[in-house]
Amino acid sequence: MAISATKAWGRVERACRHMPVVLNTVLVLSITAEVSYLVLLEAPRDPDQRTSGWPAAWKGAHLLAQYFMLANITWNAWLFVTTSPSVRGVFLGGEAMGQGWRYCYACETHTPPRCSHCYDCNVCVLRRDHHCVFFGRCVGFRNYRYFLSCLLHMWAGLLYAVVMNAEVFIVILKEGVTLHSIMLLLVPWIMLVSGQVTARAFAFAFIADTCVVGFLLVAAFLFFHIVLMLRGQTTREWYSSRRPYSLGTLGNIRECLGSRWYLCWLCPLIPSPLPGDGIHFKVTGSLEPTVR
Ligand SMILES: [Zn+2]
Ligand SMILES: [Zn+2]
């Protein structure tokens, strides 16, 4: 009895671990479906209120742009999750240990500078940035490019979705700033459950809301990571004002995105070899805190 309960709990725990990925996928696909619907049917206006039709080529360009961003988001996310950033299977060169090397008691190995142990992934991660809860994966030396590209296309896609959804807000607020329209925008779930709005109105309001909130979150996150990349720091190093591993702006960008940094974010297939190995880092500043 106790064993089956433990097993069941283990299964629930495993399922919960995948929840953020499932939720993200559902949201990304719903938003793409909604903006495609807005473009194809020129919704949300009623047919008799539409003033001018969009030419087929213009609609085609919109759909192309949408699926370009969707493909980049899913592909980069897939590569981010499947590219292991850990020390597993990496020859760390035991004898060449120097300043910044530490011993990890959990992994029972010596680990290079900027590497740290993740208790969620249960492994040491090279140039560890942080553990991404949305994908259940650590961001480290080898998958940083995919993480940043995914974030960039999410930002662009959500910006586009917010602009496209502006008309949804206009249609909702057309009846005036009433309690009904405010409630629909702020708490669409309650309005749906209480039978105040149709499922269609709910879906439009919910997705439009998600786009705005998602855009603000992703924009803040992207901005933070671009600043970190330019400064040559990881999230863990950001608390310190010292930047001992900074290689100058261009060098720092190359270290994160590889030699084809100017192109690689356009498509994850573009090869962009990283200049370093994630083990040895050029030290350009003081590693010790300055004593005053
Ligand atoms: Zn470890
Ligand atoms: Zn982790």
List, for residues 99-141, the tens digit of each pLDDT value: 778 889 998 888 888 999 999 999 999 999 999 988 889 999 9
Contacts of 205 (CB under 8 A, 6+ apart): 168, 172, 184, 185, 188, 191, 197
Query: Ligand 2 center to residue 73 CA distance, Å?
Result: 21
Q: Say how many Å lie between the CA of residue 152 and the centre of ligand 2.
A: 21
| Block residue for tokens 């960039």 | 152
Ligand with smallest separation from the Cα of 81? 2
Mean pLDDT of the chain: 86
pLDDT at 290: 54
pLDDT tens digits for 6-44?
A: 888 888 887 787 788 888 889 999 999 988 988 888 666
pLDDT at 292: 47
Residue segments in the chain with a per-residue pLDDT below the cut of 70: 1-3, 42-52, 94-96, 289-292
Give catalytic residue positions: 132
Distance 119 CA to ligand 2 centre (A): 7
Rounded distance between C-alpha atoms, residue 215 and residue 69, angstroms: 14
Identify the bridge partners of residue 123 per DSSP, sorted by sequence position: 118
Q: Output the CA–CA distances (angstroms, integers) from residue 150 to 71, 76, 104, 129, in the order listed.
A: 10, 5, 31, 16
pLDDT at 10: 83
Around ion ligand 1, residues with a beta carbon closer than 5 Å are 104, 106-107, 117, 124
Quote the ligand 2 centre to 133 CA distance (angstroms): 8
Q: Is 130 helix (H, G, I), strand (E, B) or coil?
A: strand
Cα(94) to centroid(ligand 1), Å: 15
Q: How far is the CA of 137 from the centre of ligand 2 (A)?
A: 5
Ligand number with the minimum distance to the CA of 115: 1
Domain ranges (residues) in the chain: 19-84+137-266
- Report yes or no on whether pTM surpasses 0.85: yes
Q: In this structure, which ligand is nearest to the CA of 108?
A: 1
R_g of the chain computed on alpha carbons = 24
Ligand nearest to the CA of 110: 1
